[in-house]
Amino acid sequence: MKLTCDREKMLGAFQNAAGVAPSRSPKPILQNVKLEARADGGVFLATDLEVGIRVDVPGIEADAPGSVVLPIQRFGSILRESGDPVLRLETDGSGVVVSGEHSEFRLPAENPAEFPAVSEFTEQKYHVVTARVLSQIIRRTSFATDNESSRYALGGVLIELHDDKITAVGTDGRRLAMMEAPAQSVGGHSTGDSMTIVPARSMHLIDKILTEPDAEIHIAARANEVLVKSPRAMLYSRLVEGRFPKWREVFPKRPDAVKIEMSVGPLHSAVRQAAIVTSEESRGVDFTFGGGKVILAGRAPEVGQSRVEMPIAYDGAAVSISLDPRFFNDFLKVLEPEATFTLELKDAESAAVCRTTDGYAYVIMPLARDR
């Protein structure tokens, strides 16, 4: 097989595929990316047997259909370091020769027939959501997961697909992030009562293929895997086994809660400042809301003390709560600095609930005041 390719276009596709391949594996062939070339283009395939990806490769011209297995580190380095805009690949059964105008490399190559198959997206029932919305969902929920938990399936994001919406939830038991957004069901696709829990790593890999914000993304859930298709790539992932907590019960119904409108940028700055003197042993920050301001106080015996004030639109009775600043910062980081949200508080022992106007909600459990 002989082919020519646009180096820059191939590099972008190769990097997306290589992100799925394992750095170590008892099956050495998995530490490669397979290229399948056709007369009208090509596709990169990679898998670690839990996650698989197919990435279209534009800018390829092949003399005949064929395939080659390419070592990730060496071939990736060639694509990055070469100064040639066009590269030629030629296989001879024992290896592959990669050449440009001023360079030539010969690499060993394993048998393409031994590379595991990577499923194609052939589903007739699926959900449609825009890439921009799905990327936002991933970034707003996956950070709250917990890969260390053994009690619940907290190492992934729960995905619920209904007739006209998608709901995603991530939690580690101490905080919970939930995002709800519009989505369209095709062919009656729905997850129903099934536990579609996508590993956090897979969610991050999905985010990498969402390169066109306005593109339509197809999502299909099966009994033990999920498939996501963008215009130029398709990724499948096995699901996390186990039960997810009853997350709806985490959102308390509190008609008597204090609701305070907060600005993201100023609060994020104040939280970061107050957290400077916290430590692993004394990591909490005390928040006191009232009198038109919020006072943030951090304290660690071996480090020192902090006190930060900022004005807020709340003049009611004082409400205090102690929160882990890391958890608050995680929430604030995924929002635009100029955005606002509503903070719901009841007392020092009840969860703090943050809500935006675009379907995002975040719950933080309080720390004990006598920590």
pLDDT for res 370: 56
Closest CA to 29 of 98, 104, 116, 101: 116
Cα 68 to Cα 90: distance, rounded to the nearest angstrom: 9
DSSP track, 252-276: ---TT-EEEEEEHHHHHHHHHHHGG
Given a cut of 90, is residue 109 above it in pLDDT? no
Indicate the angle between helix axes 131-141 and 200-208, nearest 10 degrees.
150
Cα 227 to Cα 336: distance, rounded to the nearest angstrom: 30
pLDDT for res 361: 98
Integer angstrom CA distances of residue 12 from 56, 60, 61, 68, 217: 10, 13, 17, 18, 19
Query: Using one digit for the tens of pLDDT, what is the confidence trace for 201-254?
Result: 999 999 999 999 999 999 999 989 999 999 999 999 999 999 999 999 998 888
Question: Residue 150's pLDDT band (boundaries 50, 70, 90)?
Answer: confident
Question: Residue 301's pLDDT band (boundaries 50, 70, 90)?
Answer: confident
Q: What are phi and psi of 166, to 5 degrees?
A: -125, 135
Residue-range domains of the chain with CATH: 2-114 (3.10.150.10), 126-247 (3.10.150.10), 251-364 (3.10.150.10)
pLDDT for res 371: 47
The amino acid present at 84, given as its one-letter code, is: D
- Give Cα 298 to chain centroid, integer Å: 31
Cα 142 to Cα 157: distance, rounded to the nearest angstrom: 6
Query: Using one digit for the tens of pLDDT, what is the confidence trace for 23-81?
Result: 888 899 999 999 999 877 899 999 999 999 999 998 898 888 899 999 999 999 999 99
Cα 248 to Cα 2: distance, rounded to the nearest angstrom: 56
Cα 179 to Cα 172: distance, rounded to the nearest angstrom: 16
Query: Using one digit for the tens of pLDDT, what is the confidence trace for 303-358?
Result: 899 999 999 999 999 999 999 999 999 999 999 999 999 999 999 999 999 999 99
Give SS3 for 38.
Answer: strand
The DSSP bridge partners found for residue 204 are none
Question: Residue 149's pLDDT band (boundaries 50, 70, 90)?
Answer: confident
pLDDT (average), residues 161-190: 96
